Amino acid sequence: MAMRDRSGEMVDRYVYAVTRRLPVAQQADVDRELRSLIEDMLSAREDQGPDRTGEVEAVLIELGNPWELASNYRGKKRYLIGPDHYDLYEMIVKIVVGATGLGIIIALMVGYVFNPPETVFSTIGNFIGTVVSALFQAFAWVTIIFAIAERCNERNEANKQVAWKVSDLPEVPAHTKRFSKAESIAGIICLVIFFMILNAAPSLFTMGIYTGEVWIAPVFNPEVFKQVLVLFNITIALAICVEFVKLYFGQYSPKLAVVMISIKTVTFIISLYIIGASGIWNPALPAALETYFHLGADFVASFARFWNFFPTLLIILTILGYVVETITTVHRSFWGKVVR
């Protein structure tokens, strides 16, 4: 008996490999067209015995890689993150993944120092697991955000195929109008590390002072701290957003000033609440110092006065910071010199 003729199956596989990569609406038509083409190409070849396997294989190879053929049929190339934004994406992935890695490692280390683990091996396993999953999360979130931006952009591009004008090009900004890239990157790294430590090792901020036997006198009121943690996170997230916005646009502009000042105002209000109204400061701190450290009454009294005044001081500094920053932003956005 002759060898089994596998040519039919080969054609099926080839056609399927092409059509499954195409929109459903095109699949049936392309399927039919390709089969008819393959038949034609076969008839054009001279010797055809009963077993066409060799000929079919040659024809399919001539037709070329099914992936390539499918992409020819599809026409336009598709991207998760297109070439327009890839450089920015790469930079931000590096920053965010790097900062997350550094932050989570520091946070875990700090956690272990203050809360020594019992078994070494399970701790190592946990450590690696936590770090890896944090890195994946960081990577995934950046990618998802960019992918969504890419989709939105695609739609915009389709809508506007208008000619651009030279007069639409932004003016070359003076150096005082440009955002420093390095500053933003350093800012993001610090914020991510702070975020990690705050969330992975909150005990660090509520633990107070160790007397050798017990933890006493935390600076923050642990209960309140737990409640306002989400507010802390929101302010950090907003601050990170501002840095990304700066990285993306690269220079001050009136429109950007409005966005930045709005975000900063929200952050400002949240900060005022946390410092002034949330009751986060532990009122028992001076008394605890007196009890556990046997400090002089005079010192404790003046410390208590300072401790009462401390939130007010912070509020004054926050307001000053906010005002200075807003004035700088407005000034640089609306009155910056332009390079000729």
Binding site for other proteins (CB under 8 A): 26, 29-30, 32-34, 36-37, 39-41, 44, 62-64, 68-69, 72-73, 75
Look up residue 14 and give its two tokens: 């080839």
Asked whether the beta carbons of 223 and 292 are under 8 A apart, the reply is no
> Smallest distance, Å, CB 93 to other proteins?
33
**CB closer to other proteins, 34 vs 239:** 34
Asked whether the beta carbons of 254 and 333 are under 8 A apart, the reply is yes
Return the H-helix or E-strand segment holding 129: helix 120-159
Q: With H, G, I as helix, E, B as strand and everything else as coil, classify residue 155.
A: helix
Look up tokens 């992935």; give the residue: 93
> Smallest distance, Å, CB 35 to other proteins?
8
**CB closer to other proteins, 64 vs 129:** 64
Look up residue 287 and give its two tokens: 């008394």
**CB closer to other proteins, 22 vs 102:** 22
| Cα 229 off chain centre by | 20
**CB closer to other proteins, 25 vs 163:** 25
- Residue 242 makes CB contacts below 8 A (sequence gap 6+) with 260, 263, 264
> Smallest distance, Å, CB 149 to other proteins?
28
**CB closer to other proteins, 10 vs 219:** 10
> Smallest distance, Å, CB 55 to other proteins?
15
Asked whether the beta carbons of 177 and 139 are under 8 A apart, the reply is no
> Smallest distance, Å, CB 11 to other proteins?
13
